[in-house]
Amino acid sequence: MVDTEELLKNRLTKQNYDKLAVLDNFALNQFIADAVELTNPASVFVCTDNPEDIAYIKGLAVKAGEESALDLSGHTCHFDGFYDQGRDKAKTKYLLPAGSDLGQTLNSIDKSAGVKEVRSFLKDSMLNREMLICFFCLGPRNSVFSIPCVQITDSPYVAHSETILYRSGYEQFKTLGRSDTFFRFLHSEGELQNYVSKNIEKRRVYIDLQENLVYSVNTQYGGNTIGLKKLALRLAINRASRQGWLAEHMFVLGAHGPKGRVTYFTGAFPSACGKTSTSMLPGQTIIGDDIAYLREINGQAQCVNVEKGIFGIIRDVNPQNDPIIYKALTTPGEVIFSNVLVGNDNKPYWLGMGSEIPSEGTNYSGKWHKGKTDSNGNEITPSHRNARYCLNIADLENRDPHMDNPAGVPVGGIIYGGRDSDTWVPLEQAFNWTEGIIIKGASIESETTAATLGKEGVRTFNLMSNLDFLSIPLGKYIQNNLDFTRKLKKLPLIFSVNYFLKDKDGKYLNGIADKKVWMLWAELRVNDDVRALKTPTGLIPEYKDLVRLFKENLQADYTESDYVQQFRIRIPENLAKLDRVEKIYREKVADTPQILYDTFAEVRKRLNTFKEKYGDYISPLDLKP
């Protein structure tokens, strides 16, 4: 048995050991000592909240070759390996002790076998490199939402990214005492070749829910290595389930209504369904774009953004559609670009940026030129389709002033969205919380696009846009959401949106800017300022209110023809959707709550009743408030 204190004193300089001694947390020291003994680094650096420590991490990322300085001050670029460009779902597994079961939909491995395997890959993985020990806080500091975290990594790029994305947490650890309730992450990029992880066949991301611990090895891509992002979300979902709160894959924004009123919404959308663009709507304020914690506080649903930064897909970010983000990406300040093209002018370029892209430069494939192909003859695009940017929300002009409020912000509404060409109307309010969770959130589907390998238009089920990150059985997760409102005095309203409805010729029925109107109508509904029409599946706007909102906010004429096309109730498609989703639950989710099937049956009954009265397709003009 290794003596923890003796090992730390022997392997750390006095200055770095003293930084840990101040925290006086034996569980923390045990974790660090075990990591040091296992990975065997040449040196260890403990990063506090001190600006000099954080500056050291940033400088090391460039010095070590994991980032390169770009033309604008503060901008750097990182490249992941050619085959290390996204989350490795197949090799991301839960470490489950004998007798545990998360259901067939969640990827797992026997804990003893998994720990043995991943630790064998981590053994001596930091030889001749510096171990970085960084402290962060999920959620605002000194808050009921706060979760302290420690990240151990040998990648200065990973550490640098987290200093942008998360609030510093060293001082927060001082408030823990001897508690072991913090989240812990151990990552090594493994052997490097040209500054990227070499042995990706040994890439592993293993999650231990009992120990609140994540192992990650032989990878650099942020989704596999930035522990506090989706890896921490998995730990948080499990903790939230035990403690009675919610950890969700949601943005948080402030919708600005009449007379200076601000109503806060959260929203969950699968990838490529408009989540980030909704969180950045013109004239509204952003709290966060990705992950939210929700708690009941004094009878009110309150939420926070877990992060303080954005790790966003950069493709199609341009001055027309994303002016605020684009400005931050083209202004001096701290930004990490990853897997974009760096031109010979030392500037970053990406797909869909709205300006001409050079015909040569450097990207994730090395030296690049237009027409370059991979070993299979496929064209290598200038920037990767999953290329990213990492920046501070504080650097955005539309940052909400309550972003760091320890109490969070009150949730007025929740929005669920998907990519749906023929079923859901652009905007609909659920009749109540139960139907909102089940018919809107638990029934999300997203159609594949031309950018996805395989057939276009295939519907993919994605429970509340959180399916990839669940760490509890699916039925339990649904029940937790249903139960969340038990102590609430006023329930948030739940809405569905669909920006991708098409006509019979395949033309989109919604404009890109229309989502602002949908959001502002939802804001009015939360505050009882407008009436709505009753459909079999929920409540939709009246035409007169949309005419006014389009004119006031988009300076556009909204025609009755547009309204009828967009808000037509499509009975056959809605019935087919219920059948598809219910089949998934019956075949794959053994613990599905009975209330889900009962709710599906009730909605199906209403759809058939409306069908008997109006036919298969119903004009919204025929409906009554």
For 279-312, give the DSSP string. Answer: HT-TTSEEEESS-EEEEEETTEEEEEES-SEEEE
Domains for the chain: give ranges and CATH numbers. 4-64+89-243 (3.40.449.10), 247-307+403-622 (3.90.228.20), 311-395 (2.170.8.10)
pTM comes to 0.95
What pLDDT score does 274 carry? 87
Are 88 and 224 in contact, with CB atoms under 8 Å apart?
A: yes
First vs last Cα of the chain: how many Å apart?
A: 72
What pLDDT score does 439 carry? 98
What pLDDT score does 452 carry? 42
Q: How far apart are CA 208 and CA 235, in angstroms?
A: 8
Are 481 and 464 in contact, with CB atoms under 8 Å apart?
A: yes
Burial class (CB in 10 A: 0-12, 13-18, 19+), 211: middle
Cα–Cα nearest to 285, from 135, 448, 398, 383: 398
| 3-state SS class at 419 | strand
The CB-side HSE value for 94 (13 A sphere, CA atoms) comes to: 25
CA 579 to centroid of chain Cα atoms: 29
pLDDT tens, position by position, 383-410: 999 999 999 999 999 999 999 999 999 9
Catalytic residue check, 149: no
What pLDDT score does 399 carry? 97
Three-state SS string across 50-98, please? CHHHHHHHHHHHHHCCCCEECCCCCEEEECCCCCCCCCCCCCEEEEECC
Cβ neighbours around 93 below 10 Å, total: 18
Are 485 and 458 in contact, with CB atoms under 8 Å apart?
A: no
Torsion of CA 594, 595, 601, 606, to 10 degrees: 180
Cα–Cα nearest to 483, from 244, 301, 292: 244
Strand partners, 132: 45, 153
Q: How far apart are CA 522 and CA 280, in angstroms?
A: 16
Q: In the chain, which residues have pLDDT < 50?
A: 1, 450-453
Residue 40's φ and ψ, nearest 5 degrees, are 60, 60
- Among the listed residues 77, 134, 137, 273, the single catalytic one is 273
Residue 9's φ and ψ, nearest 5 degrees, are -65, -35
What pLDDT score does 450 carry? 45
Instruction: Give the largest Cα separation in the chain, rounded.
Output: 81
What pLDDT score does 456 carry? 57
| Helix, strand, coil abundance in the chain, percent, nearest 5 | 35, 25, 40
Q: How far apart are CA 18 and CA 542, in angstroms?
A: 65
Are 380 and 336 in contact, with CB atoms under 8 Å apart?
A: no
**Which regions of 419-512 does DSSP assign to beta strands (E)?**
427-429, 445-447, 459-461, 493-498
pLDDT tens, position by position, 26-63: 999 999 999 999 999 999 999 999 999 999 999 999 99
User: What is the share, in percent, of the chain residues with pLDDT greater than 70?
Assistant: 98
Cβ neighbours around 450 below 10 Å, total: 6
Are 114 and 95 in contact, with CB atoms under 8 Å apart?
A: yes
